[in-house]
Structure 1
């Protein structure tokens, strides 16, 4: 992807984007709402109904990249907060610095919910609707609001990239040792079908803190809620009423897996998930992420589904996928 800003006035910003197929797109982004007001190109059908899935996804990537380019070049807050890699990285860094008591304070319900998937004696704090087709087909969510501004976090995911690569390796090692990836792969079969169970190599890697990381204050974290897919119907979300008037900085979207009552393991699982979310923001606009975020696993659920069903994407959600440049470093 490549982009250049060709003009700006009080109403909007014009951007020319050259996509990964070499097609030039002329785009206008409306100021304030930051919606795409105008999009012209001559490489794909104008009618979305006449495009292939690949062509339609290319158009979507270009629009995301145009907003990303304006965000970086002109410092406007053009991105949906929960799709902004800087905001996700700020959440990641904050979670990484939480002690065990804070992890239980904010995420204790999810810890117990995940424990119940491997231990029938654990009372499940979140009861699922009877309409849920199978327990594996559930995504648990929490909205995270940070005490920060866009100026505080702008460029943050790039600032911490060097330190992130080292600690991401340690996180993966912890999760492998705990068997989390193995059970997570089993759970993914609930979405996609088939037996995804595979043995994982045991690795022991210690973490080294990085001075690049700093913690941001927590303004609020919602109660957990969940969504599930229904055949021939839109996905259903249960709960999720958020008292905050502003959109969340990050939406945690975790596929359940059997887990111990360990704040340390849950913290590692959550950090890994957020690393994958940063990855997904890049893949979604047709760009390879920085090396620290070229990690395999489940991130933004919308993209997990795309990676499985769109042939143009490798299966980044699969922790054992053979994708050049991606893995455990």
Structure 2
């Protein structure tokens, strides 16, 4: 993906973008990310005339990347919270910093819920009618107490980390993971203190399941009465963690895989620390599982060609006004 800002007025920002198929897109969006104009000459204009994945997904990728690019270049709030790798990274670090007692304070319900499928742990949230145990995943929302400058400092960090990979075994410790995330940035990068990344409140445990026809359903519990979106959302399948530290590690790993997914969904190769395998966001994992358009990033046993996507780059070209 390659993009350039083509102009800005008091209502919109314009982006000229070249996707991974060398198709040019002209996109205009408002400052909240709502796209008001999108022109391209490589795919059918109407959604219903495009193939479900091979033609529709490049268009979606272009829109996601354009929003991300405008956010990075202009600072406008154009990214949906589920597509913002910086916020998810902040949540991963905040969760990684918790001690055992605080993990159970915030996430004890989720800990019991995932374990309930493999032993005698009580299930805090009963399975909805029609939800088969093998077809459920669990979610929980995280709201951070973030200062504006703390989140801003993560923008450079996510792109500039220089470690080769995240640890993939809990034995390497949560502390090691945090250190590698926060200390591997270049010397001149603005790196937040882990103590600045704190959890304000969490939701209850949500249940997501698909029925016999393949239709997805959600049942949400304990949503905080806040006038803002969450900063991140766990998306985990039932599993049997080897204690609280392993559970905590797997939660952090899930969020780091979601950071990976944010970049994959934009059609760009993830920064090197997030070239990891495992379940991130359940919705895109469904595409990984069923369509050849994406590799099987969710599958720990898959072989991944991390160079198959292109890096995010600026592209030279003539600038025009919106």
Root mean square deviation, CA, Å: 2.0
Q: CA deviation at 1:158?
A: 4.6
Output one character per residue of 1:202-261: Cα deviation in whole Å (capped at 9) or x when no partner. xx645635254613122210011111112446411112434222111111111111224x
**Are the aligned partners of 2:72 and 2:155 in contact in 1 as well (CA < 8 Å)?**
no
Q: CA deviation at 1:81?
A: 1.6
Output one character per residue of 1:79-130: Cα deviation in whole Å (capped at 9) or x when no partner. 01222111001100100100000000001111112222221x2222221023
Output one character per residue of 1:140-164: Cα deviation in whole Å (capped at 9) or x when no partner. 1111111114542125165266477
Output one character per residue of 1:301-322: Cα deviation in whole Å (capped at 9) or x when no partner. 1111111122110110000101
Distance 2:18 2:50 in 1: 18
Q: 1:155 to 1:71 in 2, by over 3 A?
A: farther
Distance 1:325 1:13 in 2: 31
1:282 and 2:263 correspond: yes
1:266 and 2:224 correspond: no
**Are the aligned partners of 2:115 and 2:238 in contact in 1 as well (CA < 8 Å)?**
no
1:250 and 2:229 correspond: no
**Are the aligned partners of 2:161 and 2:271 in contact in 1 as well (CA < 8 Å)?**
no
Partner of 1:159: 157
Q: CA deviation at 1:50?
A: 1.1
1:294 and 2:275 correspond: yes
Select the structure with the greater relative contact order (CA < 8 A; seq sep ≥ 6). 2
Which secondary structure state, in structure 1, belongs to the residue aligned with residue 201 of structure 2?
strand
1:227 and 2:226 correspond: no
Partner of 1:25: 25
Equivalent residue runs for 1:174-189 within 5 Å: 174=170
Distance 2:225 2:163 in 1: 32
Q: 1:282 to 1:96 in 2, by over 3 A?
A: same
Which secondary structure state, in structure 1, belongs to the residue aligned with residue 15 of structure 2?
strand
Distance 1:107 1:165 in 2: 30
Partner of 2:56: 56
Equivalent residue runs for 1:117-128 within 5 Å: 117-119=117-119, 121-128=120-127
**Are the aligned partners of 1:117 and 1:259 in contact in 2 as well (CA < 8 Å)?**
no
Partner of 1:138: 136
**Are the aligned partners of 1:297 and 1:317 in contact in 2 as well (CA < 8 Å)?**
yes
Return the TM-score normalized by structure 2: 0.85
1:214 and 2:210 correspond: no
Partner of 2:219: 238
Distance 1:34 1:222 in 2: 26
Q: Which moved more, 1:230-239 or 1:301-310?
A: 230-239
Distance 2:103 2:286 in 1: 28
**Paired residues, number:** 290
Distance 1:279 1:299 in 2: 8
Structure 2: gaps (5+ residues): 184-192, 308-322
Distance 2:106 2:20 in 1: 41
Structure 1: gaps (5+ residues): 175-203
Return the TM-score normalized by structure 1: 0.83
Which secondary structure state, in structure 2, belongs to the residue aligned with residue 308 of structure 1?
helix
